[in-house]
């Protein structure tokens, strides 16, 4: 699972470079997310934005992996989502995860602190 991490404007941005987060890669996603957000020497941000722009499909295992990623951050950090493709946004709505995660239309809106919906 290819993820990149950078800190921009005080927000940690994790970008998923894959078209799917599903049962085949859910464990890899969790392991890689943990690695990139907690690497020794990496800048630790209180808010982490998961940029899902390239993700076109998310199944129940993928959703579980995203929820697990939120838990991996611990209680003092927030996981927000950005750039949900229509199929991914539908999964979030149907499971009411759009009430759990702050969701932004894109990474730029999240970094600007505008356009979010949902709760933390």
Average pLDDT over residues 33-42: 77
The answer on pLDDT for 42 being more than 80 is: no
Three-class DSSP category at 117: strand
pLDDT at 43: 60
Residue-averaged pLDDT of the chain? 90
Looking at residue 69, the DSSP 8-state letter turns out to be H
Q: What residue spans define the domains of the chain?
A: 3-112
Q: Which position has the token pair 């709505």?
A: 93
pLDDT band at residue 75 under the 50/70/90 scheme: confident
pLDDT at 117: 46
Average pLDDT over residues 54-60: 98
Torsion of CA 7, 11, 17, 20, to 10 degrees: 160
Average pLDDT over residues 67-76: 91
Question: Is 3.40.50.300 the CATH number for 3-112?
Answer: no
Looking at residue 70, the DSSP 8-state letter turns out to be H
Contact (Cβ atoms closer than 8 angstroms) between residue 45 and residue 13: no
């Amino acid at each position: 699972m290819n993820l990149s991490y950078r800190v921009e404007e005080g927000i940690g941005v994790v970008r998923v470079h894959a078209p799917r987060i599903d049962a085949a890669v859910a464990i890899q996603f969790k392991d890689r997310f943990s690695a990139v957000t907690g690497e020794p020497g990496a800048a630790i941000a209180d808010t982490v934005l998961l940029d899902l722009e390239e993700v076109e499909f998310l199944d129940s295992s993928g959703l579980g992996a995203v929820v697990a990623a939120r838990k991996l951050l611990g209680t003092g950090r927030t996981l927000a989502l950005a750039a949900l493709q229509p199929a991914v946004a539908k999964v979030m709505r149907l499971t009411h995860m759009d009430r759990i995660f702050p969701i932004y239309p894109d990474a730029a809106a999240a970094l600007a602190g505008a356009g979010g919906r949902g709760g933390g």
